[in-house]
Amino acid sequence: MITIHKGHIFHIAGAPMVTAAAEALAWFPNGALAIDRSGRIVYCGNWADRPAGLDGSQVIDHHGCYILPGFVDTHMHFPQVFCAGAYGGGQLLEWLNNCVFPSEGLLADPEYARTAANEWCDRMINSGTTMGLIFGSAFPHAQDFLFETARERGLRIVCGRGVETIAPEWSKQRTTEEEAVRLVRAEIEKWHPLTPEARKVALQFVAIVPRFSLSVTPKTLAALGDLYHEYRDRGVYFTSHLNENARPKTGEIDSTKAVYKVAAYLDTYDGKFLPGSQVGGKSFLGKRSVFAHCAHCTDKELARLAESGSSIAHCPVSQLFLGSGTMPWRRTVAAGVNIAIGSDYGGGDEFFVPQILNACFKAHISEGIPVGMDSYPSDDQSISLHPAELLFTGTLAGARALDQEDRFGNFDVGKEADFVVMDPSKCNTYAMTLKHMYKNPVTKLARDAQLFAVIMLARESVVSGTYVRGRKLKTSKG
């Protein structure tokens, strides 16, 4: 049995680099997305051109709606589900100490943690996020609730308990180094698909997640490195924060370099965490490793990320909120590192990926633009990102960052059908703008302008369906 979803389709076809996303943009205003019983795509194209073999299929007509690949959020914090918009009275480190560490401690209560897991999965479904790379809670019961709820609802997640072996005295999340390794191993054994057969069909995966280098000891990094080495061939992931806050002396980057006495922050994750960047353990870098922010990497760090196949989770909303600056788009792309989008919720106060792409566009068209007129820079960093580059960053780049580009991220035939249906009739401004906006007679320009508005003006309320592997997901409210 084949099901055809009719609607206005956009996706990034094939496997382009971000710089070739515009050429790879596929557009079918009267489109058909045909899916077989196993949830795989058998056709994506014009409704009128569908193969005769599809006659007799069940048809779901999303009349007037847009169909895009499911959004992939490569950096989000589950235990911060109720702490967006938290006032920390400063930048990253003040916000962590004053708001985030105490909030995350609330998940020690199992009832609270259950509510948090439920709400988290509801939000992913309501916002069309079909896959999330998630910083988890330090509490095993909270992690169990999240994995169980994601499994029940059919959501894709990669998640791992946040490891802290250094934390304020009052923190409930700190463990010893031995306990940290024991708990991470237990989580992998319980929730990660350990065989190749299981991995091919799994939707939930485990990551090793030291909160950031300042939250762990060199001994923890060495032990987690050994653990990662033991499991990395079985598809276990790694994620952490890198080069986020550049405030001189007291900020995250300078503090990390001072504590570890290393030449570069990345060295702490690359096995070179001993003084003088000497090797002290195994590297976490690789094609299933994602580093959040990377707003202040050196050229050498970017080159090392690229060469190792690691990806960046770019979190523009959070970077604005926490005064982190922004990831330099041109330089990072030029270095060849894959850039995917991240909400960094609750450091970012926005869950909905199109709105994070909206911030991404604004951050980079404004990048390096000075306040005064006198000092307009000669090395202009401003870039007007193409709407296809935005769509790529919010979908296919995320699948690539998670080394699952062969399974989802676009509508190529054979992939699993993860998609989001956006219904303009649910938001008057959206509907009226898309209907009445100027349509350039040059088809390509009309296409690009339409996709741009579809992304930039979308609000969570327009999401009318979120599908993973062809199946519509249900929230706790049905």
Of ligand GUN, Zn ion, none, which one does residue 177 interact with (CB within 5 to 8 Å by kind)? none
Binding residue for ligand GUN (CB under 6 A) from 210, 347, 398, 470? 347
Distance CA 118, CA 123 (A): 9
Which amino acid does the sequence have at 77?
H
Nearer to ligand GUN, 77 or 123 (CB): 77
Asked if 77 is part of the footprint of ligand GUN (rule: CB under 6 A), the reply reads: yes
Residue 104 Cα distances to 51, 214, 320, 356, angstroms:
52, 17, 22, 23
Q: What's the sign of the alpha-carbon dihedral 195, 197, 199, 203?
A: negative
CB of 431 to ligand GUN, least distance (A): 35
Burial class (CB in 10 A: 0-12, 13-18, 19+), 49: exposed
Of Zn ion, ligand GUN, none, which one does residue 96 interact with (CB within 5 to 8 Å by kind)? ligand GUN
Asked if 344 is part of the footprint of ligand GUN (rule: CB under 6 A), the reply reads: yes
Q: Site residues for ligand GUN, window 411-470 (CB under 6 A)?
A: none
Asked if 318 is part of the footprint of ligand GUN (rule: CB under 6 A), the reply reads: yes
Which one, of 284, 73, 74, 341, lies nearest residue 163 by Cα? Answer: 284
CB of 414 to Zn ion, least distance (A): 34
- At residue 161's C-alpha, the angle toward residues 160 and 167, to 5°, is 140
CB of 153 to ligand GUN, least distance (A): 24
β-pair partners for 7: 31
Residues that contact ligand GUN, how many (by CB under 6 A): 11
* Helix (H), strand (E), coil (C) string for 301-370: HHHHHHHHCCEEEECHHHHHHCCCCCCCHHHHHHHCCEEEECCCECCECCCCHHHHHHHHHHHHHCCCCC
Asked if 212 is part of the footprint of ligand GUN (rule: CB under 6 A), the reply reads: yes
Nearer to ligand GUN, 69 or 251 (CB): 251
Distance CA 226, CA 192 (A): 17
Other beta carbons within 10 Å of 306: 17
Distance CA 377, CA 468 (A): 46
Q: Closest residue to ligand GUN, Cβ-based?
A: 347
> Which range binds Zn ion by CB under 5 A, 95-103, 291-299, 363-371, 424-432?
291-299
Nearer to Zn ion, 12 or 292 (CB): 292
Nearer to ligand GUN, 72 or 100 (CB): 100
> Which range binds Zn ion by CB under 5 A, 107-115, 169-177, 258-266, 344-352?
344-352
CB of 237 to ligand GUN, least distance (A): 17
Report how far Cα 424 is from the mean position of its chain's Cα atoms.
25
Nearer to ligand GUN, 344 or 412 (CB): 344
Other beta carbons within 10 Å of 190: 12
Asked if 302 is part of the footprint of ligand GUN (rule: CB under 6 A), the reply reads: no
Binding residue for Zn ion (CB under 5 A) from 344, 403, 405, 418? 344
- At residue 26's C-alpha, the angle toward residues 25 and 31, to 5°, is 155
Residue 463, SS3?
Answer: strand
CB of 76 to ligand GUN, least distance (A): 10
CB of 205 to Zn ion, least distance (A): 19
What is the contact surface with Zn ion in residues (CB under 5 A)? Answer: 292, 344
What is the contact surface with ligand GUN in residues (CB under 6 A)? Answer: 77, 92, 96, 100, 211-212, 241, 244, 318, 344, 347
